Structure 1
Amino acid sequence: MNFCTLFDSNYMSRGVALYRSLEEQADHFHLYMLAFDDNCADVLRKLNLTHATVITLKLFEDEDLLRVKKERSRGEYCWTSTSSLILYCIKTYELTHCTYLDADMYFYQSPRILLDEIPQNCSVLITEHRYTKQYDQSIKSGKYCVQFMYFRNDTNGIKVLNWWRDACIEWCYNRMEDGKFGDQKYLDSWTTQFEGVWELQHLGGGLAPWNCQQYQFSREKNTLIGTEKKTELDFKPVFYHYHGLRFYKKNKSIFADKYYLISIAVRKYFYYPYLKKIAAVEKEIAGVNNNFDPSGRKPYNEYLKELLFNGYVVLVKRNLLKK
């Protein structure tokens, strides 16, 4: 299984934690890591990750990317680069397939479970946000999430990938405009625009703060089990996307954006163990370079402001729910 991801020094603890989760759960995998700064590349090399290849921006960037780089914010340029990274890995390393992973994901089962779902006549896999109703942002952010995307190196797969790259080079910004948003809204039309695009069905792929409210979680004989409340269907979580998790000084963190309510069970089975994994990775990174913060911690006063505002938002929501 071939995977790729991208991150900078401030996100390195998440990216290495992703790698360690693949190491625990996946068989015969390789993760191609695009380092978005020189320090990130240097530290990743020193970690000697057996099943990883470190890619520098100097190797990766081409004329098209460099031309639009100055027009995009750092975040927008990361989005712009996603499709190009998948294509770069397939071409440079002559891969039969490649799956893009967001760096702030963590695996609890082998991703092979998800990839085995793809029919033989399909070349692309995309994953829904599966928004909880009150959090539905499909109109703005899109039906699908650029978090776990598979492309086969065949005619249909490369056709979709080239189209997506060209579209992102032309336009990829953190705003809504003419039915577009970042690199993500482009995916909305793929199932009808192209042949061979498969929409992931497994509920365990794509757990995130915007949909975890739909599920109950428990542990049975050391196995994490999810249950969809609506259907009472059981499933095993494959990965969780820790989008919006922020770290602050004095060992503080905020789990998700203020919009999302995270249950006690989700905190217990996902967030608290993940924070321990991040702490272990931070120690691992400090062993080769302790001159920077690989989790990009923000000042403590920003944590207090976020905490006060988030508490106010939750209070308002609870009052609204009572009406």
Structure 2
Amino acid sequence: MLNFCTLFDSKFLPYGLNLHSSLMQHAKSFHLYVFAFDAKCYEILTQLNLAHTTVISLSDFEDEELLAVKPTRTRGEYCWTCTPSTILYCIKTFGLENCTYIDSDIYFYDDPAHLLGEMGENEILLTLHRYTPKYDETHLSGKFCVQFMTFKNKPESMAALHWWRGACLDWCYNRVEDGKFGDQKYLDDWETRFEKVHVLQNPAGGVAPWNVQQYRIENKGSEKYATFEGQEYRLNFYHFHGLRFLSDSKLNLCEYNLPKKIVDLLYGPYIALYLQHYKMLKKLDSRLDLWLPASKGLSTFKKNTLNFLKGKYNIHPINKFIKAWPN
């Protein structure tokens, strides 16, 4: 059994539903623990009653130490602050043998068990940013990405989690300061600070906008494959970091240049699924437009022809991606 935890609020519900759908399709045996970061998110997820999923409210999760620092952090900074605490909560509350934290905007194309198998007797699994050289921000945001991290319920791993939680409670902000950045730069020295740490070697785990320029992605039947440094791998997961809806008619894919084939093969199907989930959520709550930002009117969006909208980053017309969106 693979145990995953993630956190998001109502604004990220469609992303979270995409994540769950990918696990249902590709993970053979899993349980997902979702920390609902507002009341609307908890209400909707409870109503959906997703398979293999436990929904955890903030009232059940937050302790005195987290509540004490909450007023000093932005919404995003508080989510970062809570990351190690969510993993600890799951392991302790549910008596788990292992728990993998995953960002809500990643999508699996293969069983994540293939990645976790690398760990062996190690207790902690980290994933590299693996930056494309021109986007390298290791000095700012760190060598490792929090996106996918595994901890076993064993002494060294638990010691690392408690240390990380304490560090994030002390300082976790969206700025670079004294060699720190958010919850992430704390991981830079873990290979020497702690024992039994394994860095994921399979480059098919952790493909993201900041490194996908180094890959060739292609379909082979119903599966997707990634070629990296001349070697082919079954694509495991992609991180859709930065994907945001800007208006009824356009969206921003990310802040990096993306090969057209990546947009077609990965972003197209992902956005189509997002829109299907949005439409389903809209049926559950007619007030959806009030709490899902920059998406007002998507449920009645007309499939008219739009010209490519050039602007900052990767701005595209939404209808470019809605071929699979049901009427």
**TM-score computed with the length of structure 1 as normaliser:** 0.90
Q: CA deviation at 1:87?
A: 0.3
Distance 1:307 1:77 in 2: 34
In the alignment, structure 1 residue 274 sits paired with structure 2 residue 270: yes
In the alignment, structure 1 residue 46 sits paired with structure 2 residue 47: yes
Distance 2:192 2:215 in 1: 30
Q: CA deviation at 1:28?
A: 1.8
Alignment of 1:185-224 (within 5 A): 185-224=185-224
Distance 1:29 1:251, change over 3 A: farther
Distance 2:292 2:243 in 1: 10
Match of 2:238 among 231, 237, 240: 240
Distance 1:247 1:255 in 2: 9
Q: Deviations over 1:113-159 (max 9, x none)?
A: 10111121x10001000000000000000000000000000101101
Tell whether the 8 Å contact from 1:13 to 1:295 is kept in structure 2 after alignment: no
In the alignment, structure 1 residue 286 sits paired with structure 2 residue 289: no
Output the amino acid matched with 2:238: Y
Name the SS of the counterpart of 2:22 in structure 1. helix
Output the amino acid matched with 2:245: F
Match of 1:308 in 2: 311
In the alignment, structure 1 residue 143 sits paired with structure 2 residue 167: no
Distance 1:310 1:20, change over 3 A: closer
Tell whether the 8 Å contact from 2:252 to 2:313 is kept in structure 1 after alignment: no
Q: Cα RMSD over matched residues?
A: 1.7
Match of 2:250 in 1: 252
Distance 1:112 1:295, change over 3 A: farther
Q: Deviations over 1:61-105 (max 9, x none)?
A: 001000000000111000000000000011011111100000000
Distance 2:45 2:241 in 1: 22
Tell whether the 8 Å contact from 2:248 to 2:295 is kept in structure 1 after alignment: no
Q: Deviations over 1:220-268 (max 9, x none)?
A: 223211112xx311011100000010112224211101xx110011011
Match of 1:2 in 2: 3
Alignment of 1:73-152 (within 5 A): 73-120=74-121, 122-152=122-152
Distance 1:223 1:187 in 2: 33
Distance 1:276 1:309, change over 3 A: closer
Tell whether the 8 Å contact from 1:248 to 1:299 is kept in structure 2 after alignment: no
Unaligned runs of 5+ in 1: 301-305, 313-323
Match of 1:296 among 293, 298, 301: 293
Distance 1:311 1:4 in 2: 30
Output the amino acid matched with 2:30: F
Distance 1:170 1:307 in 2: 42
Name the SS of the counterpart of 1:219 in structure 2. strand
Matched-pair identity in %: 47
Match of 1:32 in 2: 33
Distance 1:107 1:151 in 2: 19
Higher relative contact order (CA 8 A, sep 6+): 1
Name the SS of the counterpart of 1:3 in structure 2. strand
Match of 2:163 in 1: 163
Q: CA deviation at 1:283?
A: 2.1
Q: CA deviation at 1:219?
A: 1.5
Match of 2:258 in 1: 262
Name the SS of the counterpart of 2:288 in structure 1. coil
